[in-house]
Amino acid sequence: MVVIMKERASEPQIQAVIAQLMDMGYDVHRSTGANRIVLGAVGGGHGDPQIVEVQDGVQEVHRISVPYKLASRTFRPENTVIAIDDVRIGGDEVIVMAGPCSAESEEQVEASAAAVKRAGAKVLRGGAFKPRSSPYSFQGLGEPGLRMLRAAADRHGLKLITEVMEISQIELVAKYAHVLQVGARNMQNYSLLRELGKARAPVMIKRGISATIEEWLMSAEYVLAGGNTQVMLCERGIRTFETYTRNTFDISAIPVVQQLSHLPVIADPSHGTGRRDKVAPMARAAVAAGADGLIIEVHCDPDHAKSDGAQSMFPAQFERLMAELRIIAPAIGRSLCVEPVARRGWNR
């Protein structure tokens, strides 16, 4: 259940309600809404909500009928905004994360970081631990890759998002990354999600390859229930009967999740389509549909990329897309801010 305290509820009143909920067997998560304290009572407790409703300082009590509690809008009506210094994910500004699928070399990471920064991205993406369908494919550079990514991000004033595949990697990846990415294949790795609940860094959970929206929100619930409130979701396409595109990019998931949950929603049209020529139209559509951010693969020499070359944009294509997004975002009351950076010509 969700207990909304009165605007002027005193701290002793709040503590008394927390104690009562814990007595009923609930775990209590406290959050500050618009000027008032909201208490989320989750877990195996039971008790009559009316008993809670009559306590001093209580405004109203709601039952949450959906299985995800802390991720639901009932628990938190306001949007969650995740702030990484001056980069605010979930606010008015649409945040663009971009970079290669994988870190391959110092030069490649540096060139990608420079290119995406110039076009206006705020976050560098790139994997050092790669979940590949084949054990014979490039598996990522590991820690040296993390080091290259973070150094390039710092040089260009970007934040870094990178994937963590296993519990044993969390500490290492968190040393370098500003945002920890949970890949589609790990969306239901519940022990990993539980550990990420204890992490202090923001976490982005990609939608599982065949996951329903409810299953995806339940994965977010695992991290939230562990005490980490900085969770964002990423729509990256789902598997359907269609084979023309690598996945079917579920744009409707963006407004659906935003209605059901307060968590920011990022869209990944690169994995969503698997084809570079379809990334820009789907990125435009995702922003028009209200996505809080985009994550896009960009490579300076995609034909020789070690992973996902076919869906990686050339820097010039990405730059054009960013210019289009700057027109689309304000049409729906969002912004896409870019610091003025010196422009340079591109030959593709």
Stretch that binds ligand PEP, among 74-82, 143-151, 179-187, 313-321 (CB under 6 A): 179-187
Footprint (CB under 6 A) of ligand PEP, residues 217-246: 236
198: how many CB neighbours lie within 10 A of its CB?
Answer: 11
Residue 101 engages ligand PEP in binding (rule: CB under 6 A): yes
Footprint (CB under 6 A) of ligand PEP, residues 108-137: 127, 131
In eight-state DSSP terms, residue 339 is -
Q: Nearest residue by C-beta to Mn ion?
A: 101
In angstroms, the CA 103 to CA 281 distance is 26
Q: How far is the CB of 101 from ligand PEP (least distance, A)?
A: 5
DSSP symbols for 153-170: HHHTT-EEEEE--SGGGH
Which of 145, 183, 197, 274 is close enough to bind ligand PEP by CB under 6 A? 183
In angstroms, the CA 336 to CA 321 distance is 12
Q: How far is the CB of 141 from Mn ion (least distance, A)?
A: 14
Beta carbons of 1 and 8 less than 8 angstroms apart = no
Closer residue to ligand PEP, CB minimum distance, 164 or 218: 164
Residue 308 engages Mn ion in binding (rule: CB under 5 A): yes
Residue 271 engages ligand PEP in binding (rule: CB under 6 A): yes
How many chain residues bind ligand PEP (CB under 6 A)?
Answer: 9
Pairing of strands 231-235, 87-89: unpaired
The span from the first CA to the last CA of the chain, in angstroms, equals 56
| From ligand PEP, Mn ion, none, interface partner of 206 (C-beta below 5 to 8 A by class) | ligand PEP
Closer residue to Mn ion, CB minimum distance, 184 or 217: 184
Residue 103 engages ligand PEP in binding (rule: CB under 6 A): no
In angstroms, the CA 61 to CA 278 distance is 47
In eight-state DSSP terms, residue 283 is H
Beta carbons of 236 and 206 less than 8 angstroms apart = yes
Give the rounded distance of the alpha carbon of 228 from its chain centre. Answer: 13
Q: How far is the CB of 278 from Mn ion (least distance, A)?
A: 15
Q: How far is the CB of 15 from ligand PEP (least distance, A)?
A: 42
Q: How far is the CB of 111 from ligand PEP (least distance, A)?
A: 18
199: how many CB neighbours lie within 10 A of its CB?
Answer: 19
Q: 3-class SS at 141?
A: coil
Q: How far is the CB of 175 from Mn ion (least distance, A)?
A: 22
| From Mn ion, ligand PEP, none, interface partner of 88 (C-beta below 5 to 8 A by class) | none
- Binding residues (CB under 6 A) for ligand PEP: these are 101, 127, 131, 183-185, 206, 236, 271
